Amino acid sequence: MKPPSHAVPSGDRRMARLLMAALARAGHRVELASRLRSYDGAGDPARQAAIAGRASGIAARLVRRYRARPPAQRPAAWFTYHLYYKAPDWLGPAVADALAIPYLVAEAAHAPKRAGGPWAPGHAAAADAIARAAAIFTLNPADAECLAPLAGAGRVVRLPPFLDAAGRAPPRAAARAALAGRFGLDPRRTWLLAVAMMRVGDKLASYRLLGQALRRLRDLDWQLLAVGDGPARDAVEAALAGLDVRYAGAQTERDLAAFYAAADLCVWPAVNEAYGMALLEAQAAGLPVVAGAAGGVAAIVADGATGLLTPVGDEAAFAAALRRLILDPARRAAMGAAARAKAAREHDIATAAAILDAELRRACAAAKHRSCRPSP
């Protein structure tokens, strides 16, 4: 995948930066080892082989660089985020083995059906990395079932998606007034908020389903504020054509806080969504959610308590859930309060830092113990 420092907004890169921040909060010095992108979206074995060859040279250089440091300044562990058959980790296992340090991963996914297909090299590399990891942190509970046979007992660790939201929410009244003036929104109407990149595939499918659902609600008094941009912008606008929509374009993490504070309801069909950083951000700001129950979304949104979940792809059910909450401001307010409390209780960076720290220290201690054993 693209490195955490890449400028294009993404939930994946946001979580990568948060993982680095959580490790730093726990007292660890975090160093970005490489910006290598191992992603192959086309299923091209030749490209996968070329990436693996390039990675081999990078890994060798990293090992030489680390070994040249004084022992106290060498890495104590390797941590990789988001590896799967299209984006395997060609670096971490080699460097960890050479330095005899533990190897840990977060948000790994294993797809047995890819074993013999065009992504076979990437699938094998990802499976090998997962099998040797000292700890595998799962942000999406749906990943755990396929990981367990590779990982064995005790190495799959639940790590709820998290945020560092302290002090970031602006006052609702001020945020709503500012956005109303900026985008020509009526403060007296119900504001629906959708936050997502505009690209082909699952994101576009979600926007299309959202448009279909909203057309069933023309009799209600609402406006949609769509935050995001990308190569499928024209297709998204076509999917939402004829509806009362304002397009805000891409927003920075800092600026997004005002959108969450000002809106009444976060809406996202979540086609093939892993869990949805925007859904978590919305709830942390006290915004209830209507979403499709894909992947790990149910671990983020408590159905009936912090929002409503509907079967993925069911536009009628999605529209019905929207109708219930648009018509019930009191229930929205109660769900928003519950959402904020849940985010603070279960999805805070301090909680994540403690989980990561405990597993990292356990893995490092085990690695040191093994290095002290006499050779057989």
- Tens of pLDDT, residue by residue over 20-63, are 999 999 999 999 999 999 999 999 999 999 999 999 999 999 99
> Where does the chain hold its CATH 3.40.50.2000 domain(s)?
11-163+349-371, 172-346
Identify which of 224, 227, 259, 262 has the alpha carbon closest to the alpha carbon of residue 244: 224
pLDDT at 373 over 70: no
Tokens 């090992």 identify what position? 63
pLDDT at 344 over 50: yes
For residue 366, give both structure tokens: 């085990």
Q: CATH number of 172-346: 3.50.50.60, 3.40.47.10, 3.30.2350.10, 3.40.50.2000?
A: 3.40.50.2000
Identify which of 316, 95, 101, 83 has the alpha carbon closest to the alpha carbon of residue 217: 316
pLDDT, position 370? 59
Q: What is the dihedral of CA 319, 345, 356, 80, to 10 degrees?
A: 20
Pairing of β 156-158 and β 190-195: unpaired
pLDDT, position 330? 98
Asked if residues 133 and 103 have their Cβ atoms less than 8 Å apart, the reply is yes
Tokens 């976060």 identify what position? 266
Tokens 């201690």 identify what position? 365
Percent of the chain with pLDDT over 70: 96
Percent of the chain with pLDDT over 90: 82
- Please report which confidence band the pLDDT of residue 12 belongs to, taking 50, 70 and 90 as the band edges: confident
Q: What is the pLDDT of residues 60-104, one digit of tens each?
A: 999 999 999 999 999 999 999 999 999 999 999 999 999 999 999
pLDDT, position 167? 53
Q: What is the pLDDT of residues 202-226, one digit of tens each?
A: 999 999 999 999 999 999 999 999 9
Strand order across the beta sheet in which 103-106 lies = 78-81, 103-106, 135-138, 156-158
CA atoms within 13 A on the CB side of 322: 34
Provide mean pLDDT across the span 2-8: 77
Report the SS3 class of residue 286. coil
pLDDT, position 371? 47
Residue-averaged pLDDT of the chain: 92
CB atoms within 10 A of CB 157: 18
User: How far lies 180's CA from each of 113, 137, 173, 220, 325, in Å?
Assistant: 49, 41, 10, 19, 21
pLDDT at 247 over 60: yes
CATH class of 11-163+349-371: alpha beta
pLDDT at 376 over 50: no
pLDDT, position 142? 84
What's the predicted TM-score (pTM) here? 0.87
For residue 44, give both structure tokens: 């091209």
CB atoms within 10 A of CB 20: 17
pLDDT, position 4? 84
- Can you tell me the distance from the alpha carbon of 335 to that of 217, in angstroms, rounded to the nearest whole number? 21
